[in-house]
């Protein structure tokens, strides 16, 4: 059982933005979802975990590795897919993976070749292995990125917004792949797509403005909201009024008119209809504490 322990991690950027505000989490084997809107500090946290950014204070340990002071040791057991993953021009997918496999200490060239082929097959790129990666579509590049994150036997895999640019079938494929490896290692999946977390993760955290605003299992969070979410289709002109009078969680357009979700301990009537809460409601209720229109 691997154990990642983050304690009081803090980082303030020179422009006084608090990217990480004394964050503490403990993560063990399995898929861990990190949800949060853009700018919540997810990527800062991911990069700090991946030894690519220094924190101001706090500590991170993976098993007995002190991540902050022994970055080399962590890198040996890390698989990382950053938010933005590009590739070298004029180098083939196989060459790139081979290079990265060497960097990850796989010295036996025969084994390395087998591994590269295996991974390329896993991400459905085996047939394009000798094509220059530059000509790949965004989704194909992302698949190369996923393949490289799985090289070696990482005990910590960090994937930052991995499904951006993937079509639904590729996404499923990717999730299966992650789920496959995720049983024995820690996988941290950072995303702002709620469905990703719902489908994959047994544990999750929601981040907003540098803080962890929720930590636990998705189902538990949904259960907490059970019977407290109401929806109503309203006219656009009245939106503001509803925002003032109710704890507005979200609004989205349905058939050209705003459909609003509100949080309420009791039935507000007024045409509101109780709905079964979903993770999205959890997400919005956790981050939308200012009761603003989102």
Partner 1 sequence: MFYIFFAKELKAALKQPMIYVFFVLISLLTFGAVVSDHVSIGGSVGNVYKNAPHVISIYTIILSFFGLLTATAFFNNAALRDYANNFDEILFSAPLSKSGYFFGRFFGALILSTIPLLGVFLGIIIGSYLGPIFNWISPDRIGGFQLMTFVKNYFIFILPNMFIAGAIIFGMANKWKSTVISFVGSLLIVIGYIISLNIISDVENESIGALTDIFGLNTYNTQTKYYTVIEKNSLNPSLTGFLLINRIVWLGLSVIILIISFFSFSFHKKNKKEKALKKKIETSNTVFTLPKIQQAYTIRTHWDHFKSFFFINFLSIFKNVTFKILLLFSLIILISNLISGYEYYGLQSYPVTYKIIDTIKGTSFFILIIIVFFSGELIWRDRDYKINEVIDATPHTSLISLVAKTLSLVAIASLLRIFFIICGILYQLGKGYYRIDLNTYIFDFLYVDLSSYFIFSGIMILIQVLCKNKYIGYFISILILFILDTLLFAFDIESNMMYIGGRPNLLFSDMNSFGPSLKRALWFNTYWLLLATICLSIAGLLWNRGKMESLKNRVSVGLKQISTGYKIFFLGIITTWLLVAGFVYYNTQLLNKMPTADEIELSQVDYEKKYKKFEKINLPKLKDINYFVDIFAYKRNVIAKAKATLANESDTAIDSIHFNIHQNWETEILIPDSELILDDKELGYQIYKLNNPLQPNQEIPLEINVKYLTKGFENNNELTSIVANGTFLNNSTVFPTIGYSSGAELSDKNLRKKYGLPKKEIMPKLQANCSTHCMRNYISNGTSDFTCIETVISTANDQIAIAPGTLVKKWIANNRTYFHYQIDHPSLNFVSFVSGKYKIKKRDWNGIALEVYYDQKHPQNVVKMLDAVENSLTYYSENFGPYMHNQCRIIEFPRYSTFAQAFPGTMPYSESLGFIVNLEDEDKNNVVDAVIAHEMAHQWWAHQVIGARMQGATLFSEGFSEYASLMVMKKKSGTPMKMREFLKYNHERYLRGRSGELNKELPIYKVENQQYIHYGKGSVVLYALQDYIGEDKVNTAMRNFLNEFKYKNPPYPTSLDFLEYLEPQVPDSLNYLVTDLLKTITLYDNRIKEATYKKVNNGKYQISMKITAKKIRADSIGVEKNIPINDWIDLGAFGDEDEKSLIFQKRVKITKPEMDFSFEIDTIPAKLAIDPRRLLIDRVYKDNSKTVEEITL
Phi then psi dihedrals of residue 23, to 5 deg: -90, 135
Site membership for partner 1, residue 111 (CB under 8 A): yes
Site membership for partner 1, residue 182 (CB under 8 A): no
CB 77 within 8 A of CB 155: yes
Task: For partner 1, give the closer residue by CB, 75 or 171.
Answer: 75
Site membership for partner 1, residue 92 (CB under 8 A): no
Residues 6+ apart with CB under 8 A from 53: 11, 44, 47
- 181: Cα within 13 Å, side-chain hemisphere: 26
Per-residue binder mask for partner 1 (CB under 8 A), 123-152, x = binder: ---xx-------x---------x--x---x
Task: For partner 1, give the closer residue by CB, 152 or 258.
Answer: 152
* Smallest distance from partner 1 to CB 216, Å: 29
Task: For partner 1, give the closer residue by CB, 144 or 229.
Answer: 144
Query: Of these, 107, 235, 244, 266, which contacts partner 1 (CB under 8 A)?
Result: 107
* Smallest distance from partner 1 to CB 89, Å: 7
* Smallest distance from partner 1 to CB 139, Å: 16
Site membership for partner 1, residue 254 (CB under 8 A): no
Site membership for partner 1, residue 52 (CB under 8 A): yes
283 by DSSP, 3-state: which? helix
Task: For partner 1, give the closer residue by CB, 127 or 265.
Answer: 127
107-120: b or e for each residue (b if 16 or more CB lie within 10 Å)? Answer: eeeeebeebbeebb
Task: For partner 1, give the closer residue by CB, 109 or 238.
Answer: 109
Phi then psi dihedrals of residue 137, to 5 deg: -75, 170
Task: For partner 1, give the closer residue by CB, 107 or 290.
Answer: 107
Task: For partner 1, give the closer residue by CB, 148 or 251.
Answer: 148
Site membership for partner 1, residue 85 (CB under 8 A): yes
Site membership for partner 1, residue 81 (CB under 8 A): yes
The rounded distance, in Å, linking the Cα atoms of 86 and 18 is 28
Task: For partner 1, give the closer residue by CB, 135 or 216.
Answer: 135
Query: Of these, 4, 6, 27, 50, which contacts partner 1 (CB under 8 A)?
Result: 50
Considering only the stretches 48-56, 58-66, 163-171, 241-249, report the one whose residues sit in contact with partner 1 under the rule CB under 8 A. Answer: 48-56
Taking CB atoms within 8 Å and a gap of at least 24, the contacts of 114-120 are 115/151, 119/147, 119/148, 119/150, 119/151, 120/93, 120/94, 120/147
The rounded distance, in Å, linking the Cα atoms of 206 and 248 is 18
Binding residue count for partner 1, defined by CB under 8 A: 49
Neighbours of 180 (CB within 10 A): 11
Residues 6+ apart with CB under 8 A from 115: 101, 106, 151
The rounded distance, in Å, linking the Cα atoms of 43 and 36 is 10
In the chain, what is the straight-line distance between the N-terminal and C-terminal CA atoms, in Å?
40
Contact positions vs partner 1 (CB under 8 A): 47, 50-54, 69, 71-72, 75-76, 78, 80-82, 84-91, 95, 98-100, 102-108, 111-112, 114-115, 117-118, 121-122, 126-127, 135, 145, 148, 152-153
């Amino acid at each position: 059982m691997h154990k990642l322990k983050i304690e009081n991690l803090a980082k303030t950027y020179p422009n006084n933005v608090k990217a990480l505000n004394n964050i503490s989490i403990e993560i063990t084997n399995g898929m861990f979802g990190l949800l949060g809107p853009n700018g919540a500090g997810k990527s800062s946290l991911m990069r700090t975990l991946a030894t690519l950014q220094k924190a101001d204070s706090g500590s991170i340990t993976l098993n007995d590795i002190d991540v902050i002071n022994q970055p080399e040791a962590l890198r040996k057991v890390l698989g990382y897919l950053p938010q933005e993953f590009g590739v070298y021009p004029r180098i083939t997918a196989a060459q790139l993976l081979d290079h990265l496999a060497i960097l990850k200490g796989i010295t036996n060239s025969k084994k390395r070749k087998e591994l590269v082929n295996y991974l390329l097959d896993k991400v459905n790129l085996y047939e394009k292995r000798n094509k220059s990666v530059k000509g790949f579509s965004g989704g194909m590049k992302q698949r190369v990125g996923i393949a490289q994150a799985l090289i070696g036997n990482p005990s910590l895999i960090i994937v930052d917004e991995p499904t951006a640019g993937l079509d639904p079938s590729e996404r499923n494929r990717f999730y299966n792949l992650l789920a496959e490896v995720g049983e024995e290692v820690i996988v941290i999946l950072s995303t702002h797509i709620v469905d990703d977390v719902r489908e994959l993760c047994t544990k999750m955290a929601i981040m907003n403005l540098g803080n962890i605003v929720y930590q636990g299992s998705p189902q538990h969070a949904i259960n907490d909201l059970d019977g407290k979410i109401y929806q109503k289709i309203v006219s656009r002109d009245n939106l503001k009024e509803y925002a003032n009078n109710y704890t507005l969680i979200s609004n989205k357009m349905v058939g050209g008119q705003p459909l609003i979700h509100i949080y309420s301990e009791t039935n507000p009537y007024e045409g509101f209809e109780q709905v079964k809460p979903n993770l999205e409601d959890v997400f919005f209720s956790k981050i939308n504490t200012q009761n603003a229109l989102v």
